[in-house]
Amino acid sequence: MADKVSYKELGLVNTKEMFTKAMKGGYAVPAYNFNNMEQLQAILTGCAESSSPVILQVSSGARKYANQTLLRYMAMGGVQMVRAMGSNIPIALHLDHGDSFELAKSCIDTGFSSVMIDKSGVPFDENVKVTKQVVEYAREHDVSVEAELGVLAGIEDDVKHEASHYTRPEEVEEFVKRTGVDSLAISIGTSHGAYKFKVKPGEQPPPLRFDILEEVEKRIPGFPIVLHGSSSVMPEFVDMINKFGGQLKDTAGVSEDQLRRAARSAVCKVNIDSDGRLAVTAVIRKCFGEDPKNFDPRGYLGPAREALKKVIIHKNEKVLGSAGKG
């Protein structure tokens, strides 16, 4: 068991002030997932260079892949790196899709500044009960808590649902009141992974259900809303992957126009993971295709990291509006 440590000692912040500012400013804070050093460097330097607040996310898959203790120290090193660059952007370390009180507690005890407890797949009262338990523990440590109502389709590491069901606006008020949660992820048509919608080539994916979002906003005015599964599945990277031997067919994401509209609303946090995965994979494939003799990982991880950094800056500047707000 790792020693107990507060995120405050690590130079991290919780998401409360980030969301208050995002709500007032009509933008959304980006939440990017990381599993390794290159992703962490790209996310943090991209956010520092565009002066954006940032939420670093660790999923259960990341914990299995890279080890929770190592990830925590990496985040801590990341904060130091950013400060050495002369940047003071706020950085939160967030547990993505925590599935139990015990896991949320262990993250709070080891330096996370924010946790998600995702009980969206169980009945409402059970969701309320576990979320409330996490909120009570998090309060003692000034850690922020995100919960979810409604189910997103798609696959993200261990989180997998065949079908989605939209958030029921009539449930949100009671849920927020009974749990005391700080932010709420809702399901309005976004989806996890690179295959978000079943569309035929040339067809547009269905628009997000802004009517549900508006109904939610009416019932809990000024309350921070979170969108998961919000990658655009950027075609330039899908094309690059396929050009260099990959086989990604019929991919589809959420259009950047839709995300821009969401970011101006009560949506304060937007989760983007797949676009980063695609950028890294595309550039690595291109490097292998163009220079088959290279066997130095820096020769392909370096350019992949640079491409990911450009994606981060693009999202912050052109989609979420968070650039310049850090």
Binding site for Zn ion (CB under 5 A): 228
As a whole number of angstroms, the distance between CA 292 and CA 244 comes to 12
Q: Which is nearer to Zn ion, 132 or 228 (CB)?
A: 228
CA dihedral over 136, 138, 142, 146, signed as positive or negative? negative
Q: Which is nearer to Zn ion, 98 or 321 (CB)?
A: 98
Residue 112 tokens read as 């996370």
Those residues whose C-beta lies under 8 Å from the C-beta of residue 58, and which sit 6 or more positions away, are: 33, 34, 68, 71, 75, 93, 94, 95, 96, 107, 112
Q: How far is the CB of 271 from Zn ion (least distance, A)?
A: 5
Report DSSP letters for 128-159, one per residue.
Answer: HHHHHHHHHHHHHTT-EEEEEESB--EEETTE
Residue number with the shortest CB distance to Zn ion? 228
Question: Is the CB of residue 42 less than 8 Å from the CB of residue 101?
Answer: no
Q: Which is nearer to Zn ion, 31 or 128 (CB)?
A: 31
Q: Which is nearer to Zn ion, 63 or 228 (CB)?
A: 228
Q: How far is the CB of 89 from Zn ion (least distance, A)?
A: 23
Q: How far is the CB of 266 from Zn ion (least distance, A)?
A: 18
Phi, then psi, of 260 in degrees rounded to 5:
-60, -45
Q: How far is the CB of 261 from Zn ion (least distance, A)?
A: 20
Q: What Å distances lie between residue 219 and 128, 175, 267, CA to CA?
A: 18, 11, 14
Positions marked active-site? 96
Q: Which is nearer to Zn ion, 72 or 228 (CB)?
A: 228
Those residues whose C-beta lies under 8 Å from the C-beta of residue 174, and which sit 6 or more positions away, are: none
Q: How far is the CB of 291 from Zn ion (least distance, A)?
A: 35
As a whole number of angstroms, the distance between CA 95 and CA 107 comes to 7
Q: Which is nearer to Zn ion, 41 or 120 (CB)?
A: 120
Q: What Å distances lie between residue 218 and 23, 149, 172, 273, CA to CA?
A: 15, 16, 10, 29
**Pseudo-torsion of CA 289, 310, 316, 157, nearest 10°?**
30
Q: How many CA atoms lie within 13 A of 84 on its CB side?
A: 6
Q: Which is nearer to Zn ion, 52 or 274 (CB)?
A: 274
